[in-house]
Amino acid sequence: MARTRLVAGNWKMHGSRPANRALVDAILKSLPRDAECAICPPFPYLAEVAEQLRGSSVALGAQNVSEHAQGAHTGEVSAAMLKEVGCRYAIVGHSERRQIYGETDAQVAAKFAAARKAGLTPILCVGETLAEREAGRTEDVVARQLGAVQFADGVLAYEPVWAIGTGRNATPEQAQAVHAFLRKRLQQDATILYGGSVKAQNAAAIFAMPDVDGGLIGGASLVAEDFLAILQAAGIEAKAGSKKVVALSIIGLVLLQHGKGADMGSGFGGGASGSLFGATGSANFLSRTTAVMAAVFFILSLALAYVATRRPVEEGGGVIDSIRKQQAEKPAPKAEEKPAAQPQAPAPAEAPKDKQVPQ
């Protein structure tokens, strides 16, 4: 079974009603085709964002969930409540919950089970600190965190703590090594995301790793252009994978029909061509199937080539270029004519304000 590719945006404790509306509008307007994605706003905005996402392919997720179903648990939100408001996903065990709020492996396991019971898909986060990595304990740590959970019907996210909001990035090879280790402990069709400071600049290289199925995105999910670029990187890999499947299927059918080592020309020039265009002789099932798949592959290749020639080729092409082009084409407002003013002494320059970048 093919693995599901997913990109989920974790907004953390950022946002406002106007900012959220503008961000979601921008994402929905330029959402890449075939992109499987979710966004996880703070609790107060879930209902409003759910309404904005209605009818779209973007799923809603929560950043946390209580392990309790109901009762005297002030400040907690149950899985049933999240399900009722429209959530499909719930993040559990994020490193910030473990590190700052002291969530234990047992508590994370209880939250995972509560989410599943309510019909949510839990996104389980695992990952090591810098000290644990430098001590060579990465595999021990993630194996312990995963082993504490009865993992089924969920999504796994590997988030090295030392690469979250620190400006440090794991290399694609480092991410792949841990993902491959985790996959050996799961069913082969399990979805495993990477979540250590994924940005538009490094998403394609990370998503190209064979055991990386997408990303859990932090700060970059708050900027429409960056999030769209990450979604596009995930979508491109999915389309390339589909094309490879079609090509391998054709090769397999030809080998089955004509024997190992038979040349491709005889495969498509013999029974396949005759069965399609009415030549003398009855073609068998494999001949017909080979010809049909060859025709589909040929048409698909032409279509993809045409689309590629119609898209921008500069760096950052695709949906990002289209957004920038639209902004560049907006006419600049005309300046109103004003009477000449008497010269005045220049005002003192205002000190620049620090710009905060969300993590």
Residues taking part in catalysis: 94, 159
- With CA atoms as reference, report the closest residue to 8 among 262, 241, 194: 194
Other CB atoms within 10 A of residue 6 CB = 23
pTM (2 decimals)?
Answer: 0.69
Q: What is the pLDDT of residue 51?
A: 97
DSSP lists the bridge partners of residue 39 as 9, 60
Binned at pLDDT 50, 70 and 90, residue 338 comes out as very low
For the chain, what is the total number of helices (H) and then of strands (E)?
Answer: 14, 8
Q: What is the pLDDT of residue 264?
A: 44
More confident residue, 60 or 346: 60
**Residue 58, token pair as written in the block:** 């973007």
DSSP lists the bridge partners of residue 40 as 10
Task: Dump pLDDT digits (tens) for 161-192.
Answer: 998 867 677 899 999 999 999 999 999 899 99
Task: Dump pLDDT digits (tens) for 4-34.
Answer: 899 999 999 999 999 999 999 999 999 877 6
Structural domain 6-222, CATH architecture: Alpha-Beta Barrel (3.20)
Q: What is the pLDDT of residue 207?
A: 96
* H or E segment and range at residue 108: helix 105-117
* Lookup result for tokens 């399609």: 276
User: In the chain, what percentage of residues exceed pLDDT 70?
Assistant: 66
At residue 268, does pLDDT exceed 80? no
Check if the beta carbon of residue 139 is closer than 8 Å to that of residue 181.
yes
- With CA atoms as reference, report the closest residue to 228 among 193, 197, 203: 203
* H or E segment and range at residue 89: strand 89-92
At residue 283, does pLDDT exceed 90? no
Q: DSSP of 156-205, one letter per residue?
A: EEE--GGGSSSS----HHHHHHHHHHHHTTS-TT-EEEE-SS--TTTHHH
In whole angstroms, what is the distance from residue 129 CA to residue 163 CA?
Answer: 9
Q: What is the CA radius of gyration of the chain?
A: 26
Task: Dump pLDDT digits (tens) for 105-163.
Answer: 999 999 999 999 999 999 999 999 999 999 999 999 999 999 999 999 999 999 999 98
* Per-domain boundaries in the chain: 6-222, 241-313
Read off φ and ψ for residue 101, nearest 5 degrees.
-105, 5
